Structure 1
Amino acid sequence: MIIFYDGHCPLCRAEMRHLRNHDDDNIIQYEDIQQEDFSERYPDLNWDDLNNRIHVKLPDGTFLEGLDATHAAWKKVGKGWLYAPLRWPVVRHVADKAYLAFAKHRYKISYWLTGQKRGPECGGKHE
């Protein structure tokens, strides 16, 4: 499984750190879409789509996005229960809308919650 995340987003970086802390067997490959060579290494992927929301590529080549991707990643490390309620049919629709709003405004929300601005110091060419 490969997870594609925005390394310029403070909250996204924090979640990847937490996910890695639970990924004892290194079963997830973490790909920061902001890395200089990202487009060279993944020329067939649409960077703008990946930047709009988090994505996971499963071993069979299937892509998941948004909260489905996040849930799949946490489930892979044995903590799927953290996001499972957001996938329940009654909650799913509202949670997905809320996630899209978060993804669109993630830099501002990250700043409000962490005091950290968007992180070009992490490297990357995409601003």
Structure 2
Amino acid sequence: MPTESAALTLFYDGYCPLCVHEVTQLGKLCRDGQIAFVDIQTAHFASHFAHIDYQEANRILLGQRADGQILRGLDVTRYAWQLAGRGWLVAPLGWRWVRWLADPLYLWFARHRYRISGWLTGQQRCDNGQCRRD
């Protein structure tokens, strides 16, 4: 559950093995509570986060800054990795000449994340933390 002190609440798809992997890596690097992680696939998501549209969060990565600003897609990724002290790794995602290609590629990845996860990890979906091949 997010805390008032978190700089970012990151809403991720707990059914996506690659998404879970990235959140795990961020969690290991950012142990100071700067990022609160919320799995949109949990039963209590809608009741605790009524202001976040599940359909949108399931289509594109969403994050909410402490000031209430909603971030989407690669902007969430950039901010999260900055908070984890690895902003230099994703800094190019903020460059205009990179974004024209990175944004459409990210949207393609988001749409096909289960299939891509299957190709790369051999796991298609994660349910309640248990990944399995469909």
State the partner residue of 2:113: 106
Bigger mean CA deviation after superposition, 78-87 or 47-56: 78-87
TM-score by length of 1: 0.93
- Once residues 31 and 52 of structure 2 are traced to their aligned partners in structure 1, the CA distance between those partners, rounded to angstroms, is 28
Q: CA RMSD in A?
A: 1.2
Higher strand share: 2
Pick aligned residue for 1:10 from 5, 17, 21: 17
State the partner residue of 2:68: 61
Q: Which runs of 5+ in 2 are unaligned?
A: 1-7
**Secondary structure at 1:119 match in 2:** strand
State the partner residue of 2:97: 90
What displacement does 1:15 show? 0.1
CA shift digits 1:82-120 (9 cap, x unpaired) = 111122111111000000000000000000000011112
Q: Which runs of 5+ in 1 are unaligned?
A: none
Correspondence 1:116 to 2:120: no
Tell me which amino acid in the other structure corresponds to 1:80. Answer: G
Higher helix share: 1
- Once residues 45 and 22 of structure 2 are traced to their aligned partners in structure 1, the CA distance between those partners, rounded to angstroms, is 20
Corresponding residue pairs, total: 123
TM-score by length of 2: 0.88
What displacement does 1:25 show? 0.9
